Structure 1
Amino acid sequence: MQAAEKTKQAAFTKYFPEVSATGVAFKSNNSIIDMNAEDADIDVTFENQTINDIIQTLYSNYWSYVPDATVNIQMMDNGLMGGVSAVEPVYAGGRIRHGNQLADIGIEAASLKKEIASNEAELTTEENYWRIVSLNEKLNTIRTAEMFLDTLFKDVNGAYQSGVIIENDLLKVNLKMNELKSKRLKVENGIALSTMVLCQYTGIPYSDSLQFSDVIDMNDTILPPWQYFTSFQSAVQNREEYKLLDLSVQAEQKRKQMLLGESMPQLAVGTAYLYNNLMEKNNTNAVVFATLSVPISAWWEADYNLQKQNIELRKAENNRRDLDEKLVLQMQQAWNDVTEAYNQTVLAKETVDEASQNLKVAMDYYHAGMTTVSEVLESQTMLQQCRYNYVEQAVQYKIKLTAYLLMIQ
């Protein structure tokens, strides 16, 4: 974003005069002016006489006394030159205007990219967050199972002490309790690691005391997603990805206009302050000027460049049309994922209810002496797995719904 803004600021400077300064100092091993007096032909007037006439008069009046003598004129073997100029473009084929418009497009594109990155970060944060909530719910499920097994262990141990059942049944319950302890340890480590990942991603300082308010309650009503459905064809126009490719088409159009500007006449006006010291004398001058540049042979090259740019423009338009279709398919897939996750969650909740009822029946039969400890443990394991599955499906539903809502804005 900042880079695009700097590009815009740089393009804006083209509206103002270009000021430059130049300086030259030289020392020559030979004089720049080196000639014989007889050959002098300097058409410069000095007090109504040319330098050439003055030299010839001196030569004829005085050098005739020494006919074999020659006179050489040497001057300007060192000097200084410099100047400051300011040039203001009057007409540059519209390139300055289109260049600034192209920079504006760049800023808007950078803003859209930032929004896309923000949406991706939001979705990743949601996934990390709900992963922790899911693990917390699994931990609650394990705690509930541990409480159940503690009660069952007391019942089975009492029956064993009374000689009603064999020791093998007691060992089965104890083995199941140890299995839950192992799962509990893995889940607790998973919660700690997932919390660290979330804190690192969001920049929140990590702490063991962090609390997560959301829960997956088995008694909560699962709200259906139908209220969030919208027309994909209308929603696609609001997608940042589509807007980004639309800006790409506009950018190619501006580049085409800038290429056309290179084939147009270029008009500029300017002023300059000049200084020189070539003959041990300081001289200054101020000038104003105008320049007009008309490209002629460059039109040939410009024609090929325009043809190339037209190809780039058509390519950008094709990419936009292709993305339009892909975005519709993407939103359709996202909606399918949402509805599937919702239906899976509803089904998972039904299985939890059935598994709970199955465990209740198994316990009743066990207390009546009509079933074994193994069947009770199997029913408890089934309930635990069903609750795990419900938590997973409920979390997936929330994540899929978030992803869909981000797509349709």
Structure 2
Amino acid sequence: MKKVLCIIYLALLAFPMSAQRVLSLDSCRALAIANNKELLISQEKINAAHYQKKAAFTNYLPKLSATGGYMRNQKEFSLLSDAQKGALGSVGTQVSGAMQSGIQGLLTQHPELIQNPQFMALLQALGSADIATPLNNLGNALVDAFRTDTRNMYGGALTLTQPLYMGGKIRAYNKITRYAEELARQQHNSGMQDVILSTDQAYWQVVSLANKKRLAESYLQLLQKLDGDMQKMIAEGVATKADGLSVKVKVNEAEMTMTKVDDGLSLARMLLCQLCGLDLSSPITLADEQEEDLPLSSIAANGIDLEQVYSLRPEVRSLELAAEIYKQKVNVERSAYMPSIALMGNYIATNPSVFNSFEKKFKGMWNVGVVVSMPIWHWGEGIYKVKAAKAEARIARYQLEEAKEKIELQVSQSAFKVREATKKLAMAEKNLEKANENLRYANLGFEEGVIPASNVLEAHTAWLSAQSEKIDAQIDVKLTEIYLKKATGVLQ
């Protein structure tokens, strides 16, 4: 049905607006569906729900993220204390002083060594050698080697995370998003049925007023003919002026009725144009305006299968999906106090690096592990949330049961109104036959002069009432059939 409506709409767009003189019911539906902003919004909601479902599925898959940073520190980290740095920087001087003190002590304890020329030559060689400078340089080199230079720090990491068990949260979210997408589709279908219902109501209202306008024109012509005959009879002295005045009053009333019907028809056309997305002043004509007897479809108002109705009504399906969503929300809340297990993999790089002492280079390493998180005590927060979610799930089920009861009543009432409207139409057709016959006899009697003008006016009034009742009965049958289709979920 949607494809057919779209084809009709595209066909209408292929012609200029000035050529859109005659619109059928299907073309009005197609225009209304294509131009209704609420339906366009609901279609975008379907698209949003579809992408949310795709996003939820990605929670099953591993995720890779990168992190980088820079930090400027006021001071650098030091592995050596100031005293240790000073000691290493003067290690040569300390060694040289210790050697001199040791030699003096040795000579004091063993003065006989002074008489040994070889020993004195060794002492002279040691005294002339510069031991302090290279040792001091070595100590300073060690101090520089222990510098961390952490005033400018850079770091980066690549992290791979694969969920293993999240307490059922991921599965529940995927089900929720799947139900949400279907719920958006059902709401779109429900909105489409509402648009079709409003369009059909406006369409048949225009048809009804167009027929009543044609009826008012015919009635006015009859009265004008009667007024002309009455003036001739008054001139011949057969009728009185009072009879003529009573006819003129009826003519004036018919002209006022004609004006009201014409105004009502204009407003009804404007409403239909607004629903179809057309300019309010568009000169449209409906295909069923010229039909004397509207075609009536045979819709079964008895033996309706309620289970099939429940399966077709988008409202019922929407409430069923809402109940499923709340059921999954219980699982989501329950997963909050279940253990979570994930596989983690990282590659971390820093500058300065510490893998080969402290170097001003980017170096890194990888690691793999398993992360387990288990809530222990939260004062019963998770239990309360689960109970609240269960209460919401029960509310959704109660709403579903209540909706089914109301739909059953709505279907019964709609079927009763269809049968009642059909009976009223049959009675209206019989009354119209009698009114036509009565009017024919009244006109013949008036022309022969055996029936007064008051009786003729009564016959005209009865004929007008019967014609109007037939039109109302036909439109009522059409509308009640539409309401029954809407109640049974087959309106499309």
TM-score by length of 1: 0.85
1:334 partnered with 2:414: yes
Q: Look up the match of 1:368.
A: 448
- What are the residue-to-residue correspondences of 1:255-404 with 2, within 5 Å? 255-278=329-352, 281-297=360-376, 300-404=380-484
Residues 298 and 355 (structure 1), Cα distance of their counterparts in 2 relative to 1, 3 Å cut? farther
CA contact (8 A) 1:86 1:272 kept: yes
Structure 1 equivalent of residue 71 of structure 2: 26
Task: Give the C-alpha shift of residue 179 in structure 1.
Answer: 2.4
Contact kept in structure 2, 1:232 and 1:332, CA below 8 Å: no
Q: Can you list the C-alpha shifts for 1:252-294, whole angstroms capped at 9, x where unaligned?
A: 2222222333333322223333222236611321313223223
Bigger mean CA deviation after superposition, 20-29 or 224-233 = 224-233
Q: C-alpha root-mean-square deviation of aligned residues, in Å?
A: 3.0
Q: 1:201 to 1:97 in 2, by over 3 A?
A: same
Letter in 1 for 2:235: Q
Return 5+ residue gaps in structure 1 as ranges.
41-54
- The whole-number CA distance in structure 2 between the counterparts of 1:5 and 1:282 is 47
* 243-252 or 182-191, larger mean C-alpha shift: 182-191
The amino acid that maps onto 1:318 is Y
Q: Which has the larger radius of gyration?
A: 2
Give the Cα separation in 2 of the matches to 1:308 and 1:289: 39
Q: Does structure 1 residue 170 correspond to structure 2 residue 249?
A: no
Q: Report how many aligned residue pairs link the two structures.
A: 394
**Does the Cα contact within 8 Å between 2:190 and 2:314 map onto a contact in 1?**
yes
**Matched letter for residue 291 of structure 1:** V
Could you report, residue by residue, the CA deviation over 1:69-97 in whole angstroms, capped at 9, with x for unpaired residues? xx998642222122222222222223222
Shift of 1:127: 0.3
For 1:91 and 1:226, the matched residues in 2 are separated by 54
> What secondary structure is seen at the aligned counterpart in 1 of 2:437?
helix
- Give 3-state SS (helix, strand or coil) of 1:321's partner: helix
1:238-262 Cα distance to aligned partner (Å, 9 max, x none): 3211111111121122222223333
Q: Which has the higher strand share?
A: 1
1:334–1:156 distance in 2 versus 1, CA, 3 Å: same
Report the alpha carbon displacement of residue 218 of structure 1 after superposing the two structures with TM: 6.1
TM-score of the two chains, using structure 2 as the length reference:
0.72
Distance 1:134 1:364 in 2: 31
Name the amino acid aligned to 2:75. N
Where structure 2 has 5 or more consecutive residues not aligned to the other structure, the ranges are: 1-45, 99-139, 353-357
Quote the Cα distance in structure 1 between the aligned partners of 2:482 and 2:400. 26
Query: Helix, strand or coil for the counterpart of 2:362?
Result: strand
Indicate the residue corresponding to 1:194 in structure 2: 268
Worse overlay, 126-135 or 398-407: 398-407
Query: Is the partner of 1:33 in helix, strand or coil?
Result: coil
TM-superposed CA distance for 1:216, in Å, is 8.2
Give the direction of change, closer, same or farther, for the CA distance of 1:186–1:96 in structure 2 (3 Å limit): same
* Paired residues for 1:131-150 under 5 Å: 131-150=205-224
* CA shift digits 1:357-395 (9 cap, x unpaired): 332232233233233212212221222122222212221
* 1:204 to partner: Cα distance: 3.8
CA, structure 1 residues 6+223, in 2 after alignment: closer, same or farther (shift >3 Å)? Answer: closer
